[in-house]
Structure 1
Amino acid sequence: MMHNDSAAILDDLLSRWHHWMKGKPVNGVDRLEDPTFRDAQCRSGWDSAGDVLDRQMEGIAMAAVDFHVSGDSRGQGGMPEPYRAAIYCIARNCYTGHKVWMSPRLPRDPEERGIVLMEARNMLTKRLLAAGVM
């Protein structure tokens, strides 16, 4: 079982990751982004160097969470099912602030589902600690 501090840190990371994933292109394609400004570091024109650096660091941390949950195109990283589905549900619940989202990939039995959710959280926490994200 995780300590309260690491559980709160993981909840915060998962909430931010869910928000980050919402803005991520689908299948690597972002039709709304103008190619002229694709690599711009300062989106508003008023960001300080610290703001740009903070955004870059956040992107690196979120990419690390994404790798440890979803994996990459070569099949590296990522969590096996049903733990990946559990993390997706936990992240969405953390982001919305409601514990209502569930996945059909998780066990129907509430006790079994609770065990899978706890194991998924513990598994991800260990991965993120080892990667230096937490």
Structure 2
Amino acid sequence: MMNDSAAILDDLLSRWHSHCRAYQANQQAPRDPVFRDAKSGRGWDSTDEIIEDEIHGSMMADIDFQVSEMRDPHRAAIYALARNLSTGNSVWMSPRLPRDAVERARVVAEARGQITDRLMRCGVM
């Protein structure tokens, strides 16, 4: 079960980082009032696709909130971990993390434990 939760966390953090990178501040520029509550810009989305997008957006918002509530250096560790998981490389680090590799690994392991616990309590995992 531990390996499953680690894989699930890796997938969630990777998708969360990609979701955050795709965010645009003003993507809903002036719209016709008739369509202000429309959930999709494409007219051919099925109800299932719209619901799936809503659930995905809600999960990403929950992850974003839980990470933002963490304290540094654990929050910085999650940001760096999510970026590494999203890009598929282990080259991204944060200056807020310890320079010593052993100490940095300990902080990342603690951060993974904290975020796993937070996401389980809020129902994302």
* TM-score, length of structure 2 as denominator length: 0.91
Partner of 2:96: 105
Q: Pick the structure with greater CA Rg.
A: 2
Q: 1:38 to 1:97 in 2, by over 3 A?
A: farther
Could you tell me how far 1:38 is from its partner in structure 2? 6.0
Could you tell me how far 1:44 is from its partner in structure 2? 1.5
Partner Cα distance (1:99, 1:65) in 2: 21
Partner of 2:61: 63
Give the helix-richer structure, 1 or 2. Answer: 2
Partner of 1:46: 44
Partner of 2:112: 121
- Is residue 2:23 matched to residue 1:12? no
Partner of 1:34: 29
Structure 1 unaligned blocks of 5 or more: 71-77
Partner Cα distance (2:99, 2:20) in 1: 26
Aligned length: 122
Q: 1:38 to 1:117 in 2, by over 3 A?
A: farther
Partner Cα distance (2:27, 2:62) in 1: 25
Could you tell me how far 1:46 is from its partner in structure 2? 1.1
Could you tell me how far 1:33 is from its partner in structure 2? 3.3
Percentage of matched positions with identical amino acids = 54
- Give structure 1 regions of 4+ aligned residues with deviation exceeding 6 angstroms: none
Partner Cα distance (1:112, 1:53) in 2: 42
Could you tell me how far 1:39 is from its partner in structure 2? 4.1
